[in-house]
Chain A
């Protein structure tokens, strides 16, 4: 297990470097001089000199990248062109809102998706199965931002149960979290259903039936436990999708998370902030995949033995 853990931990490093190169290139791929992109309106010649010095724009590209990387590893991602504050400070300010939304949504979508999957696998080809799969299909197909708007209309405007937007209280977290979770839940429900049906047809399950074990016990104890393995993998791979869905949902609910920071930076062409936010989201995805790998190995000993 430790060897597996270390191997996966080390694998994160090259992936991180590739992503950092892509994100670093951003400012140089954009048409025009990077200096134009770094300059806001009404900026002086002195500021231009400072920018050239700060981003080493007079040096060759690989040198620029290494300096950027060095600064980044020391926690310096440059400063926002518009807000004139360090990017790290901005990120740390917005991160908690995204983190709380993302984690709640992942937990919710797991619980909802797995229970829907169990119901439709247990009641295969009945009306419950069709209904659950229909909800799952809608969850996957409805864009998160539209669902969020409809939820605001129903629960905040017409029923007046929950706040329209905001970020301070727990009740303001409910609507955005449910919105983000529904998409993930649809996917998880579909994967759970297929995996459970597959496991249920295995010989050892047939044997448990033959031994006279109750249907419920078999389903929840033996089938589900084995079926959860692919579900965990999907969850890890799709953590990025949850974060991505959260971007638009944050806009809809005016939640000051990373998504909102990123979008407003995109509009103002505030490249240091775009780079920083992208980097942080990419790191979140890498970390999510790593955690899912660990869970996977923990749940299924065959995985960690294979890689020895």
Chain B
């Protein structure tokens, strides 16, 4: 292990990534996670071509049909093909998951970096807000925000971003606090670099690794949170098929057509499982000490 850390400092970044890829190839759990994530993204991109039926084509003569050869996941209460709706629903999940986590990483890293770099009163104010947000249950914060901004996909994205940023702020702050006393920072400063250059050009790239891991797992969590809000009737509005909304409509027909609920849930479970698996493996590949993630 000590040997690899030594190499890390000598080998240029590009080669470091190639080495990480090689490490990934030997990790079966990581490959499985990656396959699931890639499958999800391909499904979302080419949903129109993959789905055998239109997601909104209703056929009232085919209401609540159990899974069969024609409809491998059955049909819902309007005779719509459940499989096609799950395929189309992956779009909203991926869109909400990626954009909301991207936004919250942006907010979190900016605030966390400022708090860690400048310390003092700025740190105290930012850290208090961060800890307070972090300690509240995410579903309640999200619900509160949806109550303020309203329902719908964009509102859900804003709500999730404003719920999740705190964990990234904590991570970046801790990393910056640790890194800013390194000799290379001192050297850069003595060469006349501004705070801005030091923070965003030198410290940030070195502090971002744990955030990438947390964000990978975070996308899975955001997809679940979106589905939960959708289940409570506050996500994407009909006729857009989101997994949460599908399950929400399905509850009324739980005893007649349970497949309407079972399959979207399975799709979501596999998705989240994939992101978790890949995130856990990333910890290993990127040589992150596990306690930094707590």
Instruction: Show the binding face of A for B, using Cβ within 8 Å.
Output: 15, 18-19, 26, 29-30, 137-138, 140-143, 145-146, 149-150, 152-153, 157, 194, 237, 240-241, 243-245, 247-248, 251-252, 262-263, 266-267, 269, 274, 278, 281-282, 285, 289
Contacts and interface: CB of A to CB of B under 8 A. Distances in A.
Contact of B136 (A137, A145, A282): A282
A141 B136 contact: no
B247 A146 contact: yes
A194 B227 CA distance: 30
Contacts of B135: 237, 240, 285, 289
B228 interface: yes
A283 to B, nearest CB: 12
Given A26-B148, A30-B147, A138 B140 contact: no
A262 B143 contact: yes
Interface string B245-282: 00100010011001001100100110011001000000
Given A26-B148, A145-B231, A278-B140, A138 B269 contact: yes
Instruction: List 8 A-B pairs, minimum CB-CB distance, nearest first.
Output: A244-B137, A146-B265, A240-B137, A244-B139, A141-B272, A143-B224, A241-B137, A29-B148
A77 B197 CA distance: 51
Nearest to A153: B258
Interface residues of B, number: 34
Contacts of B228: 143, 145, 248
B138 interface: yes
A42 to B, nearest CB: 23
A153 B247 CA distance: 14
Nearest to B134: A237
A149 B248 CA distance: 10
B136 A248 contact: no
A138 B147 contact: no
A32 to B, nearest CB: 11
The residue in A15, A18, A153, A244 that gathers the most chain B C-beta atoms within 10 A of its C-beta is A244
A172 to B, nearest CB: 17
Contacts, number: 100
B261 A149 contact: yes
B220 interface: yes
Contacts of B234: 266
Contacts of A266: 143, 146-147, 234
B276 A137 contact: yes
B193 interface: no
Interface string B228-239: 100111100000
Contacts of A146: 227, 247, 261, 265, 268-269
Nearest to B234: A266
A145 to B, nearest CB: 5
B132 to A, nearest CB: 7
B265 A248 contact: no
Contacts of B11: none
B265 A285 contact: no
B147 A141 contact: no
The residue in A240, A262, A289 that gathers the most chain B C-beta atoms within 10 A of its C-beta is A240
B144 interface: yes
Contacts of A267: 233
A142 B228 CA distance: 11
B136 A240 contact: yes
Contacts of A240: 135-137, 140
Nearest to A18: B132
A285 B137 contact: yes
A252 B254 CA distance: 11
Contacts of B231: 143, 145, 248, 251
B139 A141 contact: no
Contacts of A142: 265, 269, 272
Contacts of A282: 136
A145 B233 CA distance: 13
Nearest to A267: B233
A247 B144 contact: no
A137 B137 contact: no
A138 B273 contact: yes
Nearest to A252: B251
Contact of A141 (B132, B138, B273): B273
Nearest to A251: B232
Given A145-B247, A240-B135, A266-B146, 17 more contacts: A18-B132, A137-B276, A141-B269, A141-B273, A142-B269, A143-B224, A145-B231, A150-B261, A152-B254, A153-B262, A241-B137, A244-B140, A252-B251, A266-B147, A269-B147, A278-B140, A282-B136
